[in-house]
């Protein structure tokens, strides 16, 4: 199956992105009240970039991803950091190959939006077994780290290492 990765550029893309993630907000595994979830999923439209993932046949949205440039903890002044806010793929499309294709597209979009990017980071549940096996690969890259804070794991990866890894797989 072929997939299309389309950055959100138009108002209809923004609407589709938010609507898709709101429809699936319970599946995002975010341990926050709805208002905070809404903030996370919509922040890439304001402070970064969002992307829709389409299947080509049938042509429909099967996923969405987004990142912000900088971090809230540093008032978004740390422009060398891109923080992934969400990557979500519908259950019936969750296969490793689509995840890696999506990550490649997202990392390329980061560089286009922010040529100064040097670090990619994201937060995930510290005890979610399915995700952990996937994310362990990121944490094992040179210069990467995993830090647990109040049940959440912060993964930080040098952009160059992540880009090289994604090109290799």
Question: Which regions in the chain score pLDDT beneath 50?
Answer: none
How many separate helices (H) and strands (E) can be counted in the chain?
A: 5, 7
How high is the pLDDT of residue 113? 97
How high is the pLDDT of residue 42? 95
How high is the pLDDT of residue 126? 85
How high is the pLDDT of residue 30? 80
How high is the pLDDT of residue 44? 97
Strand order in the sheet with 48-56: 3-7, 48-56, 59-69, 81-89, 119-125, 152-158, 145-149
Q: For residue 58, is the peptide bond before it cis, meaning its omega torsion is within 30 degrees of 0?
A: yes
How high is the pLDDT of residue 129? 77
How high is the pLDDT of residue 138? 94
How high is the pLDDT of residue 28? 86
């Amino acid at each position: 199956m072929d997939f299309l990765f389309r950055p959100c550029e138009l108002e209809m893309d923004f609407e589709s992105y938010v609507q898709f993630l709101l429809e699936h907000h319970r599946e995002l595994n975010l341990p926050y009240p709805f208002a905070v979830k809404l903030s996370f999923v919509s922040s890439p439209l304001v402070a970064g970039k969002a992307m829709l993932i389409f299947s080509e046949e049938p042509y429909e949205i099967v996923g969405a991803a987004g990142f912000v440039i900088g971090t809230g903890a540093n008032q978004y002044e740390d422009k060398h950091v891109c923080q992934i806010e969400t990557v979500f793929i519908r259950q019936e499309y969750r296969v490793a190959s689509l995840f890696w294709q999506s990550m490649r597209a997202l990392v390329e979009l980061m560089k286009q939006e922010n040529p100064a990017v040097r670090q990619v980071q994201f937060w995930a549940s510290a005890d979610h077994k399915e995700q952990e096996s996937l994310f362990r690969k990121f944490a094992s890259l040179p210069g990467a780290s995993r830090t647990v804070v109040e049940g959440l794991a912060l993964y930080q990866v040098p952009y160059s290492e992540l880009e090289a890894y994604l090109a290799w797989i």
